[in-house]
Amino acid sequence: MTALRRASQRRGSASVLLIVGLANPGDEYDSSRHNVGGDAVRLVAARRHATLSLERHQRALTATIPTARGPVTLAVPTTFMNESGAAMTPLLRRTSLEDLANLVVVHDELDLDAGRIQLKRGGGLAGHNGLRSIAQVLSSNDFGRLRIGVGKPRTKDEGADYVLARLRGAKKAERDESVARAADAIDALIDEGFDGAQRRVNAPRD
């Protein structure tokens, strides 16, 4: 049984959009490339004066905000990245989401140049453990993704250290700028819908 089917067994207040930012919990992962998705969602919550909080039986920090298009739920799983899917069934129940087109996962992307942001629906998992966990729980890859480019390490063997290391100085500033642009993209998604935000976010940069 898919997470969407399980969610239909106990429904909460309906949200028109669920935006999930992926990150590892714990201070040791602050300012890492792997946490850009969660940090972008946290920044949007702060901009909209919303408090992300942990409710009973949930495995994510959540806030539901009113918008002109209806309630939108922001979420950051409290699980480790490779267990992100564990948060999905409670989130789907909480939001009464029935269509994966209304789920957008915000995550770091090694296959995009650092600083590039891309909004897309479906597609492969590109070796991302958080996406893999979510796709396994949903039994589907057909959810939206806001991909935040972090670039690639020099070799594959450096991959874990590259995404998990806490950044400082110019590299942290570059990372924080990417988080801010991703938050802008989430704001566009909330205010304009997927298609309008996609045209804006994916447009070539000057």
CATH code: domain of residue 31: 3.40.50.1470
The answer to whether residue 195 sits within a structural domain is yes
pLDDT band with cut points at 50, 70 and 90 for residue 37: very high
In a domain, residue 160? The reply is yes
> What's the full length of the chain, in residues?
206
Q: Is residue 28 assigned to a domain?
A: yes
In a domain, 144, yes or no: yes
DSSP assignment of 125-175 equals -TT-HHHHHHHHHHT---SEEEEEE----SSGGGHHHHHHSBP-HHHHHHH
Report the DSSP pairing between strands 53-54 and 17-21: unpaired
Q: How far is it, in rounded angstroms, from Cα 158 to Cα 1?
A: 37
Mean per-residue pLDDT, 52-71: 93
Judge whether 206 lies within some domain: no
How many domains, in total, are found in the chain? Answer: 1
d(CA 203, CA 62): 30
Q: Please indicate, yes or no, if residue 99 is contained in any of the structural domains.
A: yes
pLDDT of residue 1 exceeding 80:
no
Task: Please choose, from the candidates 177, 175, 182, 178, the residue with its C-alpha nearest in 3D space to the C-alpha of residue 200.
Answer: 182
Give a yes or no: residue 7 inside a domain: yes
Which is higher by pLDDT, 80 or 3? 80
**pLDDT recorded at residue 147:** 97
Q: What is the pLDDT of residue 155?
A: 82
Which sequence positions are flagged as catalytic?
34
Query: pLDDT value at position 130?
Result: 95
Confidence band of 6 (pLDDT split at 50, 70, 90): low
What average pLDDT does range 43-63 have in this prediction? 95
Categorize the per-residue pLDDT at 204 as very low, low, confident or very high, splitting at 50, 70 and 90.
Answer: confident
The residue-averaged pLDDT of 40-55 equals: 96
CA neighbor of 58 nearest in space, from 17, 12, 15, 97:
12
Domain housing 141: 3-201
| Span 87-114, average pLDDT | 94
Token pair for 2: 């898919």
Q: Would you say residue 131 has pLDDT above 80?
A: yes
Cα–Cα dist 137/100, whole Å: 12
CB under 8 Å to 96, separation ≥6 — which residues? 7, 11, 12, 13, 14, 15
Q: How far apart are the first and last CA of the chain?
A: 46
Q: Say whether pLDDT at 11 is over 80.
A: no
Residue 76 lies in a domain: yes
The pLDDT of residue 10 is 52
What tokens were used for 43?
């920044």
Average pLDDT over residues 34-40: 98
7 pLDDT more than 60: no
110 three-class SS? coil
Which 3 state secondary structure label does DSSP give 103?
strand
Please report the pLDDT score of residue 160 as a whole number.
87
CB under 8 Å to 40, separation ≥6 — which residues?
21, 106, 146, 148, 179, 182, 183, 185, 186
Average confidence (pLDDT) over 95-105: 94
Q: Is the pLDDT of residue 206 over 70?
A: no
